[in-house]
A and B are shown apart, each in its own frame.
Chain A
Amino acid sequence: MIKKNDHKKAWITMVIAVAVLALVGLLDNLPSTIVPSMLLTVLQKGAIYALVAVSMNLLNGFTGLFSLGQAGFMLLGAYTYAVLTVPVERQASVYQRYKGGGLGFSVTQSLGNSMGQFGLLLGVVACLILAGCVAGLFAWLIGLPVLKLKSDYLAIATLGFAEIIRAVVMYEKLGPVTNGSNLLYGFTSFTDFHLGSLKLTTVMPFLFAGLCILVVVLLINSTYGRAFKAIRDDEVAAEAMGINLAKHKRMSFIISSFFAGISGALLAMFQASVQASAFKAAMTYEILLIVVIGGIGSITGSVIAAFLFVGCSEWWLRFLDNETILGNFGVKVKFAVVFGAVIAAVVAFGMLRMKRKGKKLLTHAVQGQPAVNWRAVLGLAVAAIALVWDIWFVISPNLKLPLLRQGFRMVVFSVVIMIVVLFFREGIMGDREFWDMGRRKRAAAKKAGASE
Chain B
Amino acid sequence: MLKIDNLKVSYGGIHALRGISMEVPDGKIVTLIGANGAGKSTTLRTITGLVKADSGSIKWNGNELIGKNIDRIISEGIALSPEGRRVFPDMTVLENLRIGAYLRRDKEEIEKDLDSVYRLFPRLKERSWQLAGTLSGGEQQMLAVGRALMSRPKLMMMDEPSLGLAPLVVQDIFKIIQEINRQGVTILLIEQNANMALKIADLAYVLETGNITLSGTGAELLANEKVKEAYLGKRKD
Binding site for B on A (CB under 8 A): 223, 226-227, 229-230, 232-234, 236-244, 297, 431, 439-440, 443, 447
Inter-chain CA distance A234–B9, complex, in Å, is 24
Given A242-B70, A242-B75, A443-B129, residue A237 in contact with residue B87 (CB < 8 A)? yes
Assess the A241–B91 pair: CB atoms within 8 A: no
Inter-chain CA distance A443–B50, complex, in Å, is 38
CB distance from B199 to the nearest CB of A (A): 27
Inter-chain CA distance A424–B22, complex, in Å, is 54
Contact pick for A239, options B70, B98, B126, CB 8 Å: B70
Assess the B129–A233 pair: CB atoms within 8 A: no
Assess the B50–A241 pair: CB atoms within 8 A: no
A-B contact pairs, 10 of them (CB 8 A): A234-B88, A236-B82, A237-B87, A240-B70, A241-B100, A241-B103, A243-B99, A297-B90, A439-B129, A447-B126
Inter-chain CA distance A239–B69, complex, in Å, is 10
- Which residues in A have their C-beta under 8 angstroms from that of B151? 241-242
Contact pick for B102, options A223, A236, A297, A440, CB 8 Å: A223
Top 6 A-B pairs, shortest CB-CB distance: A233-B88, A237-B86, A242-B74, A242-B71, A242-B103, A443-B129
- Which residues in A have their C-beta under 8 angstroms from that of B113? none
CB distance from A419 to the nearest CB of B (A): 24
CB distance from A299 to the nearest CB of B (A): 15
Query: Closest chain B residue to A231 by CB distance?
Result: B88
CB distance from B87 to the nearest CB of A (A): 7
- Which residues in A have their C-beta under 8 angstroms from that of B82? 236-237, 240
**How does the 8 Å CB contact mask read for B34-59 relative to A, with 1 for contact and 0 for none?**
00000000000000101000000000
Contact pick for B91, options A226, A242, A243, CB 8 Å: A226
Query: Closest chain B residue to A243 by CB distance?
Result: B102
Contact pick for A232, options B50, B69, B90, B103, CB 8 Å: B90
Q: How many A-B residue pairs have CB under 8 A?
A: 69
Assess the A242–B102 pair: CB atoms within 8 A: yes
Which positions 77-93 of chain B face chain A at CB distance < 8 Å?
Answer: 80, 82, 86-91
Question: B95 within 8 Å of A by Cβ?
Answer: yes
- Which residues in A have their C-beta under 8 angstroms from that of B99? 226-227, 230, 238, 241, 243
- Which residues in A have their C-beta under 8 angstroms from that of B87? 234, 237
**How does the 8 Å CB contact mask read for B103-142 relative to A, with 1 for contact and 0 for none?**
1000000000000000000000010010000000000000
Chain A CB count within 10 A is highest, among B50, B70, B80, B88, for: B88
Chain B CB count within 10 A is highest, among A223, A239, A242, for: A242
Assess the B102–A431 pair: CB atoms within 8 A: no
Question: B8 within 8 Å of A by Cβ?
Answer: no
Question: B152 within 8 Å of A by Cβ?
Answer: no
Assess the B129–A227 pair: CB atoms within 8 A: no
- Which residues in B have their C-beta under 8 angstroms from that of A439? 129
CB distance from A430 to the nearest CB of B (A): 10
Question: B147 within 8 Å of A by Cβ?
Answer: yes
Given A226-B95, A240-B50, residue A233 in contact with residue B71 (CB < 8 A)? no
Inter-chain CA distance A241–B48, complex, in Å, is 10
- Which residues in B have their C-beta under 8 angstroms from that of A227? 99, 102
Query: Closest chain B residue to A443 by CB distance?
Result: B129
- Which residues in B have their C-beta under 8 angstroms from that of A229? 88, 90-91, 95
Inter-chain CA distance A431–B74, complex, in Å, is 31
Assess the B86–A236 pair: CB atoms within 8 A: yes
Contact pick for A440, options B48, B95, B129, CB 8 Å: B129
Query: Closest chain A residue to B150 by CB distance?
Result: A241
Inter-chain CA distance A199–B89, complex, in Å, is 48
Inter-chain CA distance A155–B216, complex, in Å, is 53
Assess the A226–B126 pair: CB atoms within 8 A: no
- Which residues in A have their C-beta under 8 angstroms from that of B91? 226, 229-230, 233
Query: Closest chain A residue to B147 by CB distance?
Result: A241
Inter-chain CA distance A242–B70, complex, in Å, is 6
CB distance from A15 to the nearest CB of B (A): 26
Inter-chain CA distance A240–B87, complex, in Å, is 11
- Known contacts A226-B102, A240-B70; 14 further A-B pairs (Cβ under 8 A): A223-B102, A226-B98, A229-B88, A230-B88, A236-B50, A238-B88, A239-B50, A239-B70, A240-B82, A240-B86, A241-B102, A241-B151, A242-B102, A431-B90
- Which residues in B have their C-beta under 8 angstroms from that of A241? 74, 99-100, 102-103, 147, 151
Query: Closest chain A residue to B91 by CB distance?
Result: A229
CB distance from B198 to the nearest CB of A (A): 26
Inter-chain CA distance A440–B128, complex, in Å, is 11
Assess the A240–B48 pair: CB atoms within 8 A: yes
CB distance from A60 to the nearest CB of B (A): 14
- Which residues in A have their C-beta under 8 angstroms from that of B98? 223, 226
CB distance from B103 to the nearest CB of A (A): 4
Inter-chain CA distance A297–B90, complex, in Å, is 10
Inter-chain CA distance A223–B91, complex, in Å, is 13
Inter-chain CA distance A232–B80, complex, in Å, is 19
- Which residues in B have their C-beta under 8 angstroms from that of A237? 82, 86-88
Contact pick for A233, options B48, B90, B100, CB 8 Å: B90
Inter-chain CA distance A107–B103, complex, in Å, is 42
Inter-chain CA distance A239–B99, complex, in Å, is 11
CB distance from A57 to the nearest CB of B (A): 14
- Which residues in B have their C-beta under 8 angstroms from that of A243? 71, 99, 102
Inter-chain CA distance A397–B70, complex, in Å, is 76
Inter-chain CA distance A230–B88, complex, in Å, is 6
Inter-chain CA distance A237–B147, complex, in Å, is 11
Inter-chain CA distance A238–B76, complex, in Å, is 17
Chain B CB count within 10 A is highest, among A229, A240, A431, A447, for: A240
Assess the B71–A234 pair: CB atoms within 8 A: no
- Which residues in B have their C-beta under 8 angstroms from that of A234? 86-89
Query: Closest chain B residue to A440 by CB distance?
Result: B129
